[in-house]
Amino acid sequence: MPRVFRYGLYGVGRIGRVHGQIVKEQGHAIAAIGDEVLVAAEEARHALGEPSAPVFDDPTAMLADSPLDAVIISSHTKDHARDARPFVEAGIPVYLEKPLTSDLPEAFDFVESVGTDRTIIQIGLQRRFDEALRHAKQLLDGGLIGDIREIRSILRDQYPPPPTYTSRGLIIDMGIHVADEAIWLLGEYPDEVWARMYNAKQYDSPVDEGGNTAFVGFTTKAGTIGRLDLSRTHASGYNNETYVIGTEGTLHVGRFSGYPGPIPVELWTNEGELHEASTVFDMTTFDGDYAEFQPRFHRAYQRAHRGFRDAVDSGQPFAVTQNDVLSAQVFVEAAHLSALEEGKGRRFDHSDDVREFRRLTTVNGLLA
């Protein structure tokens, strides 16, 4: 029998409650609930059916008063590193929502101080656990479309974020999902990026993210060409698609087919035919209210939490860590700055050595 984890939840808006519900359904205990806005923690306690869970408005107090096996942090992006630090220092395994922070120097400071060990923090980049994208990754790694020429990753929300949401910009907060997806699927790092940000028509949001639509183009040292399409204005439903064009075929994941709807993974051969490795995955349907991203990624969140606990129990590395999100964060910072400069190209370089990575990022003018 797997052991029951005693979870702390810190930051319990939309996604914090989703995570709490999932780990509860998976048979684990909610031992403490925290949020800098105490009323949010109290609301979450009731929404999660945990009326006697103690509530806190400070991560250090929550840590001091609660015996925890793990913590899930889903506070505002700008507070992620600050809120994670006490738990990391106390040796509590942390599931931390993306991005690492909204501020790139702080992200480097954080990774430099906590280190690059892959058993400390799992990041909430759930695409790494998504069945459809994992199937696609296997097909790519198996060489079924040959050498990759081009990738295009699309992430389009149907609705604006809630009024409580804070964001330094659409490309940083939303783009990090597909920036990481592209790096993961390609197995290589971009080194040049351009981006433009737009305001599509008739959109009304309580949150200023610098625009509601962005296009990010990039290239890699190996000559792969890529594009990320981001928006909050896809009127017919939450839309996640990935096209990968290779020398021997094309892979298309998530062709929009209604929401919630099927998730096709279509592998097209160089004869123009559908390959037998093509398949279809299902979204999850919910009764009542749900956050727009839940049908598409519910199973990925479930798998992410199972993977997190398995890694904690076995001492194995987490599948996606502070190191991976830092790489994606440099990519989106370069894209964000490019968008502020009306699409001027920005270069960047990667290193697995975090100090060297910081030096290169400074030289490239991204840490000014």
Ligand X SMILES: NC(=O)c1ccc[n+]([C@@H]2O[C@H](COP(=O)([O-])OP(=O)(O)OC[C@H]3O[C@@H](n4cnc5c(N)ncnc54)[C@H](O)[C@@H]3O)[C@@H](O)[C@H]2O)c1
Helical ranges in 27-95 per DSSP H: 38-47, 59-65, 80-89
Candidates 160-168, 243-251, 270-278, 332-340: pick the segment binding ligand X (CB under 6 A).
160-168
In the bound state with ligand X, the residue whose beta carbon lies nearer, of 39 and 90, is 39
Cα-Cα-Cα-Cα dihedral of 333, 335, 340, 342, to 10°?
A: 160
Q: How many residues bind ligand X (CB under 6 A)?
A: 26
Nearer CB in complex with ligand X: 12/335:
12
Q: Is residue 74 near ligand X by the rule CB under 6 A? A: yes
Question: Shortest approach of ligand X to residue 15 CB, angstroms?
Answer: 4
> Which residue of 76, 135, 156, 346 would you call a contact of ligand X, by CB under 6 A?
76
In the complex, least distance from residue 203 CB atom to ligand X, rounded to whole angstroms: 18
Supply 185's token pair: 């699927």
Q: Which is nearer to ligand X, 245 or 320 (CB)?
A: 320
Enumerate the β-bridge partners of residue 251: 244, 267
Q: How far is the CB of 78 from ligand X (least distance, A)?
A: 8
**Cis bond before residue 264 (omega within 30° of 0):** no
Helix axes 294-314, 14-25, angle to 10 degrees: 60
Q: Which is nearer to ligand X, 98 or 234 (CB)?
A: 98
Q: Which region, judged by CB under 6 A, interacts with ligand X, from 157-165, 189-197, 217-225, 250-258? A: 157-165
Does residue number 172 form part of the binding site for ligand X (CB under 6 A)? Answer: no
CA separation for the pair 98, 75 (Å, rounded): 10
222 part of the interface to ligand X, by CB under 6 A: no
Q: Give residue number: closest CB to ligand X.
A: 13
Q: Which of residues 6-65 bind ligand X (CB under 6 A)?
A: 11-16, 35-37, 39-40, 43
293 phi/psi in degrees, rounded to 5: -85, -10
The nearer residue to ligand X, 297 or 348, going by C-beta atoms, is 297
* Contact by Cβ (8 Å): 179, 228: yes
What x/- string results for residues 267 through 296 when contact with ligand X is judged by CB under 6 A? --------------------------x---
Q: What is the largest CA-CA distance in the chain?
A: 63
d(CA 74, CA 80): 7
Burial class (CB in 10 A: 0-12, 13-18, 19+), 206: exposed
The DSSP bridge partners found for residue 193 are 218, 346
**Terminal-to-terminal C-alpha distance of the chain:** 51
By CB under 6 A, tell whether 173 contacts ligand X. Answer: yes
Close Cβ partners of 345 (under 8 Å, ≥ 6 residues apart): 192, 193, 194, 338
What is the smallest separation between the CB atom of 263 and ligand X, expressed in angstroms? Answer: 16
Question: Could you tell me the smallest distance in angstroms from the CB atom of residue 48 to ligand X?
Answer: 13
Integer Cα distance of 368 and 365 in angstroms: 6
Nearer to ligand X, 194 or 308 (CB): 308
| Of the candidate residues 26, 29, 106, 165, the single one contacting ligand X (CB under 6 A) | 165
Q: Which is nearer to ligand X, 57 or 192 (CB)?
A: 57
Residue 243 Cβ, how far from ligand X at the closest point, in Å?
A: 21
Task: For ligand X, give the closer residue by CB, 220 or 233.
Answer: 233
- Burial (0-12, 13-18, 19+ Cβ within 10 Å), 7: buried
Query: Least distance to ligand X from the beta carbon of 293, Å?
Result: 5
In the range 121-150, which residues lie near ligand X by CB under 6 A?
124, 126
Name the segment binding ligand X (CB under 6 A); options: 50-58, 73-81, 105-113, 141-149: 73-81
Report how far residue 4's alpha carbon sits from residue 127's, in angstroms, rounded to the nearest whole number: 25
Q: According to the binding rule CB under 6 A, does residue 94 interact with ligand X?
A: no
Bridge partners (DSSP) of residue 71 are 8, 94
Residues near ligand X (CB under 6 A): 11-16, 35-37, 39-40, 43, 74-77, 97-98, 124, 126, 162, 164-165, 173, 293, 297
